[in-house]
Amino acid sequence: MPSRPASPTTSRHPAATDDDTTVHHTSVRAKRRKAPGQEKMELQLTSMIDVIFLLLIYFVITATFMIDEGFLDASLPSGPASAPEDELPKEPVVIELAPAGNNDTLFTITVDNQPVDSFTDLYTVMNNQSELQGGFYAVDTPLIIKPRARVRWQHVVNAFNALVRAKYEAISFAPPS
Amino acid sequence: MSQVTPRGAVAPSLNITPLIDVVFLLIVFFMLVSNITSDEAVPMVLPDLVDSVTSELGDDPRVVVNIAPLPATGREFGMKGDPLDHAGEADFVKVGSLKTFPMSQLDAMTAELARIRAERPDVPILLRADGALYYSSVTPVIDAITKAQIADIKLVAYLPEDQR
């Protein structure tokens, strides 16, 4: 950047003659611009930066970064047309979920009426029963998750997750009982 | 822009033009991001799974069926209420980022899903429901999806801790 004149008196005034002749027709702003010794016109950036920073902080705070979501493949019962006719239907395994007491966080899990303590246990039991682990159930054994009406969706998906983790392929949801 | 004062000292001044550029870019970024997230995702707490085996969503096209919980508090004076404070009942269903259906009009949602499935058969349909909803609030929506002849849905839950 070229250095500024040290003082107004040493600078050559470029529009001195203009100023003298047309003083009545120039606007205040033009006069200010042309006034000798005035600073060069500059944008007042400080207040703008203040506002921009406020906007920035607002959007940073309100931007709700979601916890990463994933999905589980589910299959819904698609009507009687999908039932295989050439083989005997396999006996379904019913996993029942029922609330225990008035507390929503307490509930019971039963696999074919055998109680299971937790979703980890549900996985362990079903995994050990799987034919992949030398057990009795084929991977396409129909598993029916049968929650009561007041069971939270979280528990339903948890049961589903445990069965998917044990590599079963035919899991469906029963209407609330 | 350093200026030489009469005494010959250099008055330092910050060059703020690139700073403003960057800040503007940040603002635009956060504005766009907040719009995207609020469009498709109804605020809710998804099921948090034990030993989750969920897969990542990725950026593939998809249709999200949101089941919004009915806020139990904060609905006074005609306000919307806090979606994270609810008793377990469903409020409405939102399909994609535009179509909203009250729980009493799930037949219309069935028609909409059937239309989407007919137009784009390969687009997966995701069911995104709050973990604290009662199962009885979710089943009408599942039934409505089934009625649209859609059997393959994906249940949305949080990813396992180590993949978040």
Whether chain A has a CB inside 8 Å of the CB on B155: the answer is: yes
pLDDT reading at A170 higher than 60: yes
Structure tokens at B33: 């991001």
Whether chain A has a CB inside 8 Å of the CB on B13: the answer is: no
Average pLDDT over residues A131-158: 85
**ipTM for the assembly:** 0.73
pLDDT tens, residue by residue, A68-104:
777 888 766 554 444 445 555 678 888 888 887 666 6
Whether chain B has a CB inside 8 Å of the CB on A128: the answer is: no
In the prediction, which pLDDT does A45 show?
79
d(C-alpha A45, C-alpha A54), whole Å:
14
Which stretch of DSSP H or E encloses residue B23?
helix B17-40
With beta carbons under 8 A apart, name residues in chain A contacting B4: 3-4, 6
With beta carbons under 8 A apart, name residues in chain B contacting A123: 51
User: What value does the mean pLDDT of chain A take?
Assistant: 73
Calculate helix-pair angle for A153-165, A119-129, nearest 10 degrees: 30
Distance from CA of B137 to the nearest CA of A (A): 8
Nearest CA in chain A to B40: A66
| A176 with B151: Cβ contact below 8 A | no
pLDDT tens, residue by residue, A14-44:
544 444 454 555 555 555 555 555 667 777 7
Residue B51, phi-psi category: left (phi > 0), alpha (psi -120 to 50), beta (remainder): left
In the prediction, which pLDDT does A152 show?
86
With beta carbons under 8 A apart, name residues in chain B contacting A69: 46, 54, 57, 128, 156-159
d(C-alpha B83, C-alpha A136), whole Å:
45
Distance from CA of A176 to the nearest CA of B (A): 6
Nearest CA in chain B to A174: B139
Whole-angstrom CA distances from A36 to A9, A33, A157, B70, B141 are 9, 8, 78, 70, 77
Distance from CA of A171 to the nearest CA of B (A): 11
d(C-alpha A69, C-alpha A83), whole Å:
33
Whether chain B has a CB inside 8 Å of the CB on A136: the answer is: no
Average pLDDT over residues B88-107: 84
- pLDDT confidence of B164, banded at 50, 70, 90? low
Least CB–CB distance from B27: residue in A52, A72, A152: A52
CB atoms within 10 A of CB B93: 26
Whether chain A has a CB inside 8 Å of the CB on B154: the answer is: yes
Residue in B49, B110, B130 to test binding to A, most A beta-carbons within 10 Å: B49
